Amino acid sequence: MTGKNENTGNRRSIRLRNYDYAQSGWYFVTICINERRCLFGNITDDVMQLNDAGAMTRRWFNELENKFSNLQCDEFVCMPNHIHFIVANTGKPEHQQTVGADLCVRPSPSESTQKGDPDISGSPLRNIVQWYKTMTTNEYIRGVKHNRWEAFSKRLWQRNYWEHVIRSEKDLCEIREYICNNPIRWSTDELYIPKR
C-alpha cells in the first residue's frame, strides 16, 4: 500500500505552498463545470444570456456574504461553462459569541448562536468554494428534477477550482476589468466551446 488514494493518482496541489488561505485578502476564483459543458446559458452579441441555471449561480454568489460574515463579495460573471468571481476575506466575523456572564436569562440560544454558523473568522477559501459548489449543485439537481434543466454527468462542477491571490490595487482593477469583459472575449477564451 502506497498511502495514496488510487482514484487521485499523483494529483499535484495548485495552491500556493505555505500560503494561509484563511488570512485576510482578496481572491480571484474560477470554477468550471465538469467536462466544460455549457449549462448556464449562451453568449449572444458579446452578452451573456443567462438561463435559469446561470441566474441561480448569481443568487448563490450573493448569498456568500450571508453565510460567511467575514466575506465581502465583489465582481462576478457567469459564463456558459464556468464562473469567475472576486471575494475579500476580511478575517473579522460580524457575529461573535460573547464570553462571560449574560445578565439576561433565557431558555433559547443567544442571537449569535441562533445564526447556525460557527465563528468563521478566517474561513479558508476552500470552505467558501465548497459551500458554494454544494448549494449550487443541490439547486441544480432540483432544477433537473422539476424544471427540466439539462442533466449533468457525475458532478456539476470540476473537482478543483482555480484561484489567484490578489496582491495589489492594480491587480484588482485588471481582474475586475477581465471579469466584466469576459463575455466579449468568449470566442478566444481557453474554456470556449463552440455552439453545436
CA distance linking residue 149 with residue 147, whole number of Å: 6
Q: What is the mean pLDDT of residues 60-73?
A: 95
CA distance linking residue 27 with residue 15, whole number of Å: 12
**Looking at the domain assignment, is residue 15 inside a domain?**
no
Q: What is the mean pLDDT of residues 10-14?
A: 50
**Looking at the domain assignment, is residue 152 inside a domain?**
yes
Give per-residue pLDDT as tens, 115-148.
Answer: 334 334 457 889 999 999 999 999 999 999 999 9
Helix runs in 78-168, H state only: 111-114, 125-147
| pLDDT at 193 exceeding the cut of 70 | yes
Contact 19, 25 (CB under 8 A): no
How many domains does the structure of the chain reveal?
Answer: 1
Which cell goes with 34?
Answer: 465538469
User: What predicted TM-score, i.e. pTM, was given to this entire model?
Assistant: 0.76
**Looking at the domain assignment, is residue 162 inside a domain?**
yes
3-class SS of residue 173? helix
**Looking at the domain assignment, is residue 31 inside a domain?**
yes
Q: What is the mean pLDDT of residues 88-94?
A: 73
The residue segments making up the domain with residue 62 are 25-96+116-188
**Looking at the domain assignment, is residue 72 inside a domain?**
yes
**Looking at the domain assignment, is residue 78 inside a domain?**
yes
What's the CATH code of the domain at 171? 3.30.70.1290
